[in-house]
Chains A and B, each alone.
Chain A
Amino acid sequence: DYTKEKKAGEGTYAVVYLGTKKSTGRSIAVKEIKTSQFKDGLDMSALREVKFLQELKHVNVIELVDVFMANDNLNLVLEFLPADLEIIIKDTSIMFSPADIKSWILMTLRGVHHCHRNFILHRDLKPNNLLLAPDGQLKIADFGLARLMASPQEILTSNVVTRWYRAPELLFGAKHYTSAVDIWSVGVIFAELMLRIPYLPGKDDVDQINVTFRALGTPTDADWPEVSSFSNYNKIQIYPPPSREELRRRFIAATENALELISGMMIMNPKKRWDAVKCLQSQYFQELPEPTLPQDLP
């Protein structure tokens, strides 16, 4: 029922084709998972994509249309999403307004909220995993690093989330982190939408720590109890947190409520960081301008 008309891309474990669902004429993307590549059978990323996308059904999460085996390859049929936020941010010929930014962040937070209320952590939120549908809807994609919220005593790997969007607790090697890591990533994406350049572009994992704390201040036990117990805490440079004035200068187009929201999403201490519900209920989404309707977005 599906055609593979054009190769759209090739990754380590999959080839992506654009095609059509013949019975409905709907454009689709077929992610063909190379099964021979992984000596341990089905690749973990593919397994996670299938596992979580089967359970999530939300306008702001990519839809898994079908899954099938063919010629010993696993095929994920996904809805066709021709663009992503990274393309939009980088293409400076595209002008976008504060209302547009509000719309994209609102849709992102709704998608993240849906994952979190299903106790699923995405763990790789970044602009090119936020895809855009022809009708303007933004959809969270690539659940290859996703996992269920940990059981209480479970140990998690901190080697997740693409570096520039990685939360401080992950930079410190935390093993019992929560969905707060996704909120941090959304905060960085929000900043990048306003600045049109990467907000915390570390050259490597060590530099990432330095870039993060130079921009936002080095956390101390006072505001983040036990942060000094992380093994690599003593090696880091101490920087003061930015004043409100400094933040205003950094995000000149941002309203007070926008600064409030981005500050809430990027609170160092994950325990105090805002969760998806608090973000969605923030004043920023209740003040003018109203978020641009998806169909009117660039």
Chain B
Amino acid sequence: YRHSSQYRLWSFTKEQLESRRRALNVKVVDKVNEKLQDIISKHNDLSQEELNAINEKAVPVTMEEELKFVNFFAKKVQSFCHSLNLPTEVCATAISFFRRFFLVNSTMEIHPKHILLASIFLACKSENYFIGIEAFAKKTKSQPTTILKYEFDVLESLQFTLLNHHPYRPLHGFFLDIQYILHGKVDLNYMGQIYTNCKRRITETLLTDVVYHYTPPQITLACLLIDDEALTLKYLEVKFGSPPEEQKESETEGMKREETPSDTKLPSNLKLQTLTALIRECQAMILNVETLSKEEATKIDAKLHYCQNPMLL
């Protein structure tokens, strides 16, 4: 995973992500303000009323507003994918492309509505679910040229990294391993229900920043923790933990075992406490998602619109 482009280029600490977004917003706000001043200075016949209107309504959006607005549209990407009946992985990749794009570009430069379809189209290609541009444009009631126009912008902003690791396969992996580790202690039908619940919750996490701060397996374990804390903690304890008194014994034994590689469980180099704390953090982040109302989105949209076209005011 550490060799993957997802880890190398698209994993950040919370601080890194915040400063990245803020720097982008500041840079573009300056450009927008400059452009506004330029327009105002070119139109010295503007009335005071018109000037007031521009100063009041053509206001660049803040970083916070941008992030909410992008997430608002990311949800539209998701619902578009569902209306097109696209496979889970394709939808997840489309959302990932879309959200990453706005880590590199501001909504004040390119409106999210233009990137929405290009992200889905590129995700279909990238995930071997190819839909020709004509058919895709027809299904989405749009123009082929518009979609193709932004395809390269998306590709370039992604720094040409297309392979995504989503938490769905890890979910399947843990579904298997839990059966083995908690051998005989889990009811299969119940496990099936857990699987379904977690899959749905994973889909929700794709719209949040957890995808930048945690690895897919950690996100999966956090979703499992939300769904059944007791089962998940039990599994992790049996899998990665070992009671303190045994800790010494297994360490020495572990040394011995290193010399004689056997097929018994190898001491994991993973600290249960660290992992559990990490998953708890991720869990908290998943549960604390704020969504943008349609009214708020409309307000932000208006700001974007007037920033792009102040003379309309």
Q: Does B190 contact A (CB under 8 A)?
A: no
A contact residues vs B (CB 8 Å cutoff): 35, 39-42, 44, 47, 50-52, 54-55, 57, 67, 69, 72, 74, 147-148, 151, 154
Name B3's contact: one of A39, A52, A55, A72 (CB within 8 Å): A55
* Overall SS of chain B's interface: helix
B64 at the interface (CB under 8 A from A): no
- Give the CA-CA distance A39 to B133 in the complex, in Å: 8
Alpha-carbon distance between A183 and B205 when the two chains are bound, in angstroms:
38
In the complex the two chains form, is B126's CB within 8 Å of A52's CB?
no
Q: Contact between B126 and A47 (Cβ–Cβ < 8 Å)?
A: yes
| A44 engages B163 (CB within 8 Å) | no
Residues of B within 8 A of A52 (CB): 163
The residue from B128, B155, B156, B162 contacting A147, defined by CB atoms under 8 A apart: B128
Residues of A within 8 A of B87 (CB): 151
Q: Which of A41, A69, A151 has the most CB of B within 10 A?
A: A41
A54 to B3, CA, bound (A): 9
Contact status of A51 and B162, CB under 8 A, knowing A41-B121, A57-B3, A147-B128: yes
Restricting to B115-158, which residues have a CB under 8 Å from any CB of A?
A: 121-122, 125-126, 128, 130, 132-133, 147-148, 151-152, 155-156
**A51 x B163 contact (CB < 8 A):** yes
**A47 and B132 within 8 A (CB):** no
Q: How far is the CB of A203 from the nearest CB of chain B, in Å?
A: 30
B125 adjacent to A67 (CB under 8 Å): no
Q: Cβ of A35: which chain B residues have Cβ within 8 Å of it?
A: 152
- CB pair A47 B125 closer than 8 Å: yes
Knowing A35-B152, A151-B89, the reply to whether A42 touches B3 (Cβ < 8 A) is: no
Partner of A54, one of B121, B125, B148, B162: B162
Contact among A47, A55, A69, A147 with B4 in the assembled complex (CB-CB below 8 Å): A55
Residues of A close to B125: CB separation below 8 A: 40-42, 44, 47
Cβ–Cβ contact B160 & A54, under 8 A:
yes
**Pick from A39, A42, A44, A154: contact of B155, CB under 8 Å:** A42
Q: Are A42 and B152 in contact (CB under 8 A)?
A: yes
Could you list 10 further interchain pairs (A-B, Cβ under 8 angstroms) beyond the known A41-B133, A51-B126?
A: A40-B148, A41-B121, A41-B125, A41-B151, A47-B126, A54-B5, A54-B160, A54-B161, A74-B155, A154-B128
Contacts of B163 in A (CB 8 A): 51-52, 54-55, 148
| A67 cross-chain contacts in B, Cβ below 8 A | 159-160
